[in-house]
Amino acid sequence: MKETFGEYIKSLRTENELTLTQLASKLDLDSANLSKIENNKREFDEKRLELLANVFNLDLAKLRTEFFSDIIAKKIYDNNCDSETLILAEQKVEYLKSKNLTTI
Amino acid sequence: MKETFGEYIKSLRTENELTLTQLASKLDLDSANLSKIENNKREFDEKRLELLANVFNLDLAKLRTEFFSDIIAKKIYDNNCDSETLILAEQKVEYLKSKNLTTI
DNA sequence: GTAATTTTGTCAAAAATTGACAAGTCAAAT
DNA sequence: ATTTGACTTGTCAATTTTTGACAAAATTAC
């Protein structure tokens, strides 16, 4: 079972024996805010994904997948969306691709 | 293949032979902005879902599914997320449910 | 033609997010 | 039992994003 993105960062951090302050500084972030991110009280900012990948030598593409799936999961969870939602979403992605639509 | 939420509104509107102005007023919305919504240039606002359901006698739960799947699809499409993203998201939803986590 | 409808552009107001700092808890060390 | 370091929580101004509203252009129907 997949953990949240914040918990993932926390496990990366502790496995590498870094303090919040140390990692926060590498990510150009306040340690208090990093704590909130790790505890699902704030969102990690997309613009720091590359930095995070570099710090822990991670594959950026995989990290992005991890990141966006987290955002989507939270949206579904927070709004009590039913199980059909993701199936429909997948169809709509195909539709958008087929139409080459420019959305907001 | 599933259309976008905006296109769905548009088809509902035209099937019911309403002008933008007419529907916009029922939805407490500016007609120019409704036009943008129908053309995927703005997001429909969640707080108007119930109103929309009432106007066209739709099942609110289904409409919500339609609405949130649209948001998710656009996020995936706009960010060029790979196909794994939704699979991962589903796992994360289960994880959040199992933990009963309170997110942001 | 022109009248109605739809689309597009713009912008201030409102809402949401972020960065930053202060103050708090907790555990370990001395 | 006090200090130190690590982490958490609360708050708030500043930035960023979204929204509502209006004008005006473009399109369609008559």
pLDDT digits (tens, 9 = 90+) for B25-69: 999 999 999 999 999 999 999 999 999 999 999 999 999 999 999
Residue B101 has pLDDT above 70, yes or no: no
Tally Cβ neighbours within 10 Å of residue A27. Answer: 20
Place of tokens 């196909």: B83
A91 contacts in chain B (CB < 8 Å) = 1-2, 69, 73
B61 touching A (Cβ < 8 Å): yes
A100 touching B (Cβ < 8 Å): no
Buried b or exposed e, range B39-73, using 16+ CB within 10 angstroms: ebebbbeeebbeebbebbeeeeeebbbbbbbbbbb
Residue A9: which H helix or E strand, with range? Answer: helix A5-15
Measured CA to CA in angstroms, residue A90 lies from A9, A100, B54, B60, B81 at distances of: 27, 15, 27, 21, 11
The residue ranges of chain A whose pLDDT is under 70 are: 1, 101-104
A78 contacts in chain B (CB < 8 Å) = 103
pLDDT of residue B2: 84
